[in-house]
Amino acid sequence: MDHHCPWTYNCVGYGNMPHFVRFLAWTFWTTSYLFVLLCQRIYSYYEQSDLPIYLISKTEMIAVIFLTPLDFFIVFSQLILLIRVFSHIFKGMTQIEIWEWERIDSQFYSEHLWASIRDNYLNLHGKEMPKLVSWSGSSATMVRQLAEIEEEQEEDEQEQYDIIDGEPSQEDSLIPEQFTMDDMVFPYDFGFWKNLTNTLGSPWMWILPFSGPNSNGVVPEKSQEYIEEDQLNLPWPPDGGSREYVVKNEIDYDKLKQIRNYQEIRKRLDPRLNMSRNEWMDNTGSKLDDFGVDLEVEQEESLEK
């Protein structure tokens, strides 16, 4: 699901996204055309300003004065919405997946996020998550990191942690030192053109009222970049979504002094760092339930698992 649309009183998802985009495109076109006509009418009033007032319909003039700013507001709002929808389509993401990505980016340096990711990996694969390496550095750095990891795995067993009463307890930090948000790969991003055709179908069918996406969306194809570069080997979102763990995330001010990356410092001091998934909000103040997600049902399903 992408979001719940209050205009159509319907959930917009993979199956009806082309219809929603056509709805937006046609309403944007018609309201824009109306705005042009209103502006032309206002200009005609200016040209006829020397004529007697009784030659101009006062009712029509009042309607034009009232409708012009109203229509401009509608056109501007639809333009912003269209840009937002197409930017998400170009990325191969839904609004909820964009929200999840921003949440993980915001909480990347939190203990409870990585406790959830590690536990999700353990539940799916039956073993501890291997150590992660950053692919964003130089080749020499990556080779050195891989060599260090292999030596550690030969000498010691994989770092263990226990979950007691739903709360992970660990001596060392669960946050990987050699892994960054840039190394996180979204599984369904194929580049803007393929993302566009996957969502809206073939270009020659875009204006047809009954055309749909290229697949059913039930078993989505994963990108080659994800297959080659992903290290987590987890479904999206990697922390399992509805599963939450409470872990104390104390600020290490001595470590903060050593960090030279301003963005990383901001994330570590972000007040949303330790918020649960249901509480977290993006920079616009939107929470998960604002997109139409039934949090109570998700919680019940997670308890059943």
Residue 66 has pLDDT above 90, yes or no: yes
Residue 56 has pLDDT above 70, yes or no: yes
Catalytic-role residue among 1, 5, 11, 25: 5
Residue 31 has pLDDT above 90, yes or no: yes
What is the reported pLDDT for 246? 56
Q: Where are the alpha helices (DSSP H) in 92-182?
A: 95-106, 111-125, 139-155
Burial tier of 122 (Cβ tally within 10 Å: 0-12, 13-18, 19+): middle
Distance of CA 167 to the CA centre of its chain: 27
The confidence band for 39, taking pLDDT boundaries of 50, 70 and 90, is: very high
Residue 289 has pLDDT above 90, yes or no: no
Residue with tokens 């942690």: 161
Q: Give the residue, 301 or 140, on which the prediction is more confident.
A: 301
Buried b (16+ CB within 10 A) or exposed e, 195-220: bbebbbbeeeeeeeeeebbeeeeeee
**Could you tell me the sign of the dihedral formed by the alpha carbons of 225, 228, 233, 239, in that order?**
negative
What is the reported pLDDT for 84? 92
Distance of CA 67 to the CA centre of its chain: 35
Residue 157 has pLDDT above 60, yes or no: no
Residue 68 has pLDDT above 90, yes or no: yes
Could you tell me the CA-to-CA distances from 270 to 103, 145, 199, 233, 280 in Å, in that order?
11, 29, 34, 28, 11
DSSP 215-246: S-SSSPPPPHHHHHH-SS--PSSTT-SS----
What does the pLDDT average to over 16-42? 94
What does the pLDDT average to over 149-175? 52
For residue 11, indicate whether it is catalytic.
no
Residue 242 has pLDDT above 70, yes or no: no
Tokens (6 digits) for 27: 């309403």
What is the reported pLDDT for 115? 87
The confidence band for 161, taking pLDDT boundaries of 50, 70 and 90, is: very low
For residue range 171-229, list pLDDT tens digits in order.
Answer: 467 888 778 888 888 999 999 899 999 888 888 888 888 888 887 777 888 888 888 88
Q: Give the residue, 144 or 294, on which the prediction is more confident.
A: 294
Helix (H, G, I), strand (E, B) or coil at 12: strand
Per-chain mean pLDDT for the chain: 79
For residue range 81-127, list pLDDT tens digits in order.
Answer: 999 999 999 998 988 889 999 999 888 888 888 888 888 888 888 88
* Closest of 66, 64, 77 to residue 28, by C-alpha: 77
Residue type, 158: Q
Of the listed ranges 70-84, 136-150, 245-259, 276-290, the one predicted with least confidence: 136-150
What does the pLDDT average to over 228-240? 86
**CA separation for the pair 7, 10 (Å, rounded):** 8
Residue 269 has pLDDT above 80, yes or no: no
* Closest of 246, 251, 291, 254 to residue 271, by C-alpha: 251
| Most confidently predicted of 46-55, 146-155, 227-236, 238-247 | 227-236
What does the pLDDT average to over 28-34? 96
* Closest of 229, 225, 162 to residue 188, by C-alpha: 225
pTM metric for this prediction: 0.74
Residue with tokens 């006829």: 48
Share of the chain above pLDDT 70, in %: 75
Q: Which helix (H) or strand (E) is 62 found in, with range? A: helix 58-91
Q: What are phi and psi of 169, to 5 degrees?
A: -120, 130
